[in-house]
A and B are shown apart, each in its own frame.
Chain A
């Protein structure tokens, strides 16, 4: 198993759809993250979970709803998104939130029509 696995790799959805992105890490880490990567913008931190509790929410619209049922799994539930939400959504994990290295998944490319 690779370190951090994201599914689906590609997703196309209409503005009224409900979908979810899934992330699973096999590294034994205790912190997981959602980042948004848009063209011409820096990576934006969306949510951070440490020991399954949310510790950071960078003013993300409520149409994005994270869920962390255990330390190995992280979901991003999507509802009534806008076309400007189209981006690459990257999941990452680390051992502790104050330590160095983030391990990223390959990302889920989302297109909102």
Chain B
């Protein structure tokens, strides 16, 4: 079984703080995605990373793909209450014949005003 582990599972911070969440696997990803799911909604894609070492920025969010393509991080600068939600990483594994996405358990973030 190919698993994605996300950490931390829960994070509660004050508005304006910075944070980093992580997504790790023992297997190599062919690609990895980050989704955000707000309460009462379905997940929405934030970014896709494909190349080892790749860094992508989306406003205050910075996504990094590990050099070995086994891990990824999401860094949020100056968090705002609107960033509250469940952050999910989802990867396609290089040796997965079905090529389906496998989701991590998520990091539930709460940003207090």
Contact = CB atoms under 8 A, between A and B. Distances in A.
Interface stretch (A11-19, A75-83, A104-112): A104-112
Contacts of B4: 42
A43 B33 CA distance: 14
B42 A104 contact: yes
Contact of A97 (B33, B43, B99, B102): B99
A56 B88 contact: no
Interface residues on A, range: 20 to 34
Interface in A68-113: 90, 92, 97-98, 100-107
Contacts of B68: none
Contact of A90 (B42, B98, B102, B106): B42
Interface residues of B, number: 22
A35 to B, nearest CB: 8
Interface string B15-52: 00000000000000001010100001111110010000
Contacts, number: 46
Given A106-B40, A106-B42, A107-B42, A100 B31 contact: yes
A32 interface: no
Contacts of A105: 42
A2 to B, nearest CB: 10
B58 interface: no
Nearest to A3: B42
Given A45-B100, A45-B101, A100-B31, A4 B45 contact: no
A101 B42 contact: no
A43 B88 contact: yes
Interface string B76-113: 00000000000010100000001111111110000000
Which 4 A-B residue pairings sit nearest by Cβ, starting from the closest?
A: A104-B42, A43-B103, A42-B103, A42-B105
16 contacts: A4-B42, A41-B105, A42-B102, A42-B104, A42-B105, A42-B106, A45-B101, A90-B42, A92-B42, A97-B99, A97-B100, A100-B45, A101-B33, A102-B35, A106-B40, A106-B42
Interface of B: 4, 31, 33, 35, 40-45, 48, 88, 90, 98-106
